[in-house]
Structure 1
Amino acid sequence: MTTETIKIEGMSCDHCKRAVETALTNLDGVSTANVSLEAGHVTVDFDNNKVAMSHMTEAIEDQGYDVK
């Protein structure tokens, strides 16, 4: 299992938090995703043999947020 912190811009509310966490945990290989609105990032636990960082970035961007 790998843990990465991804910086995200544009999140401001609980809806944003849920949207990003749900988009990530729906990816095969992601076990947890925890957004910190205050810090502007998400911490993701995932199996890097099943999911790539590019897939996670795309899932976040598809929700309307910018990955930095």
Structure 2
Amino acid sequence: MTALTGPNIRDHQNTSKTFKIGGLQGGQHDKQEIETYLSQIDGVDQVKVNLEEGSVTVDFDPGVIHTDYLRGTLRSLGHDILV
């Protein structure tokens, strides 16, 4: 017996992107807000906020979500993206 297979679906490899951000004076409140909002976006697998480093690391599927959208979401939450 052979297994039935569906149509060819492009396999996406998750990628990880770290954003240096400003405006984390709210501490744990900012951490929870960022993790909550970003984790609800389709294609986002995991979000980690490091308050000491002022960074947000996002594991996501680039075939579903673009980094510009993630940047825009961080800005909409009141955080500047630092270079």
TM-score (norm 1): 0.94
Spell out structure 1 runs of 4+ moving beyond 3 A: none
Looking at structure 1, the residues matched to 33 and 41 of structure 2 have their Cα atoms a distance apart, in angstroms, of 13
Unaligned runs of 5+ in 1: none
- What amino acid maps onto 2:15 in structure 1? T
Q: CA RMSD for the aligned pairs?
A: 0.8
- Which is higher, the Rg of structure 1 or of structure 2? 2
- Higher RCO (C-alpha under 8 Å, 6+ residues apart): 1
Identity %: 37
Q: Is the strand fraction higher in 1 or 2?
A: 1
Shift in Å, 1:62: 0.9
- Whether the 8 Å CA contact 1:8–1:40 is kept in 2: the answer is yes
Give the helix-richer structure, 1 or 2: 1
Counterpart for residue 5 of structure 1: 18
